[in-house]
Structure 1
């Protein structure tokens, strides 16, 4: 046995790197991967990023102009931006709720309901405007909501992790493990799973108070999904500047997660048609049946509604969120 072999026998094997070390290594690799890029015709745009606890300063990034005239940060740079967001939110102060406390959310919604079946939606079509208030007990055992102005308390039954703080706080904070957990929980047939995961991450940010480590993991996980872009010059429905993290879903609409450009706090989500689209029922290749003259017959395919390119399909703006001691209270 030589000297090296003797040392190997004498020393224990090192422990594998933990989630924090893996995240740091991933950040470094992504940053290094974007240092060299092939020459293309790019438009240089300064993207203002607020200084945070990790001293994130204004970042000048290369931005490609799309056919619509909107700036779209290339995928590699979008990944780096998402990692910066993750690093910033991971350092914010946070006080978790007690199990007997409630998480209150209020959001303003613009959408098209069943009243619009059979219609062709355009940018001139006026959507429905509603305000939704919701209370979720932190331990997940009860939920509260308003029906005709009256508070109703009920047992939520089976809930997804993103809907309950107790389940949410138990999720892994390693982005790869988080993706695996969401893929396992949200297996949906006939749907692009990456589309669905992106939407579920948006719902997670909107419906709950997210612990900083998990919020950082969500943005790192989003960075690993294909087709995600970042727009640093977007505005919300009120004309306020927002940072838009988006992905084209189902091939016809751009699904945006809207963040405060200075703090990266969640503000809302928005879906805009990027091409003309018809919602057909049943979907092509899917058979549905109905009863006619007492007989079960195939349902004839038909267009339930259609939408014109450029039409805003849905907007959800979170107007208030906080921890309260009882359902019905507001922060």
Structure 2
């Protein structure tokens, strides 16, 4: 199956990009960048804590720490910019308990349970699994939403942090923990059509408790697959080939560490991670992912809340990104990125770099509102 991978021609990409809604450029409000540049800081050393309380201090360092280019919800391992400073890159939260939990280690050695790559594209196991996941997604009931409502997402997240040695930027970066650090809760509210300000609560600095205050994420008037709104997702084509053409059309090559196929996989992951997906669009995205070269299956993966599942994965450099699904229901659980081999910062093969667990999705009437019992998915 899928012996010949589907790669849209340049003309197709340009035509699709012309027809699709305009994707986000670089003019999002600063509040959105807090979120989409992996905004949460798990810890800040004492010698830099005072700057996080100055106007724009935390925001400035978070934006500076992120790679330049378009905003996105990508989970990227980050290193601090100054001696002693630590930046964690994370993106999601838990409902039901605000107490931190411990992030699970990799369930197995990174290569022991990964399917073999198919000739020129996704492995046959990945195509089969994604086809089944797409069928489940298509069979779900479409949520009833209004333009004046919000999509509520609650998750649990862990992000590895690094620190620069005493010699400054030229010193070797080292991890601040052993990969079993605590996870953190996060709750986010996104305007259905992007016309209203979004809201985020999460551990922005030491002493911050979930539910206290929050960050205004601003409006999202130029959504994209990396920064989607529900309305934008509902406007996308449901044909997998056309949708995959749209995915490749939105690849910009900003991340020089990724080839177009890897960036396409990450782009779909951006769309899936923190949104409430229209059923037919979700199904089309999974079918599109099955056409991307290098996509495989990991038999056992664990999300940030400790739930075991089966994962759809792709390698990029020394890292493997895994989308984790319930083994029985085939519903999306979360995402994690692990090291494939030991790295120069002291990380061992299988070390978790980023891990998330989506625990609740719902439609609510206003930012800050929790869903009624029994109404979330």
- Which of 199, 207, 212 pairs up with 1:144? 199
The reply on whether 1:85 has 2:157 as its aligned counterpart is: no
In 1, distance between residues paired with 2:191 and 2:304? 30
- Which of 184, 190, 204 pairs up with 1:130? 184
8 A Cα contact 2:333 2:357, kept in partner: yes
The reply on whether 1:234 has 2:301 as its aligned counterpart is: yes
8 A Cα contact 2:137 2:283, kept in partner: yes
My pick for the range that moved more, 153-162 or 74-83, is: 153-162
8 A Cα contact 1:30 1:80, kept in partner: no
1:230 shift after superposition? 1.6
Q: TM-score, normalised by structure 2?
A: 0.58
Indicate the structure with greater strand content: 1
Q: Secondary structure at the match of 2:297?
A: strand
Structure 2: gaps (5+ residues) = 4-107, 118-122, 166-171, 372-377
The reply on whether 1:171 has 2:171 as its aligned counterpart is: no
In 1, distance between residues paired with 2:367 and 2:342? 43
In 1, distance between residues paired with 2:153 and 2:2? 35
- Which of 86, 92, 108 pairs up with 2:156? 108
The reply on whether 1:267 has 2:333 as its aligned counterpart is: yes
Structure 1's consecutive aligned runs of 4 or more residues displaced over 6 angstroms after TM superposition are none
- Which of 182, 185, 196 pairs up with 2:263? 196
1:95 corresponds to which residue? 143
In 2, distance between residues paired with 1:275 and 1:266? 27
The reply on whether 1:257 has 2:323 as its aligned counterpart is: yes
The reply on whether 1:225 has 2:289 as its aligned counterpart is: no
8 A Cα contact 2:161 2:177, kept in partner: no
1:263 shift after superposition? 2.1
The reply on whether 1:187 has 2:252 as its aligned counterpart is: yes
My pick for the range that moved more, 190-199 or 164-173, is: 190-199
In 1, distance between residues paired with 2:366 and 2:320? 37
8 A Cα contact 1:140 1:164, kept in partner: yes
1:76 shift after superposition? 1.6
1:108 shift after superposition? 1.3
Whose relative contact order is higher, 1 or 2, with alpha carbons under 8 Å and at least 6 apart?
A: 2
1:100 shift after superposition? 0.8
Question: After superposition, what is the alpha-carbon deviation per residue over 1:163-200, rounded to whole angstroms, capped at 9, x for unaligned?
Answer: 21111111111111111112212322423121122122
My pick for the range that moved more, 70-79 or 317-326, is: 70-79
1:50 corresponds to which residue? none
In 2, distance between residues paired with 1:224 and 1:123? 37
Cα-Cα RMSD: 2.8
- Which of 37, 54, 69 pairs up with 2:112? 69
1:243 shift after superposition? 1.6
Q: Secondary structure at the match of 1:140?
A: coil
Question: After superposition, what is the alpha-carbon deviation per residue over 1:261-315, rounded to whole angstroms, capped at 9, x for unaligned?
Answer: 222221100000001334xxxxxxxxxxxxxxxxxxxxxxxxxx56332211110
Structure 1: gaps (5+ residues) = 1-28, 32-64, 279-304
My pick for the range that moved more, 220-229 or 128-137, is: 128-137
The reply on whether 1:211 has 2:286 as its aligned counterpart is: no
8 A Cα contact 1:73 1:231, kept in partner: no
In 2, distance between residues paired with 1:236 and 1:328? 25
The reply on whether 1:120 has 2:160 as its aligned counterpart is: no
Q: TM-score, normalised by structure 1?
A: 0.66
Choose 1 or 2 for highest CA Rg.
1
The reply on whether 1:320 has 2:360 as its aligned counterpart is: yes
Give the number of equivalent residue pairs. 243
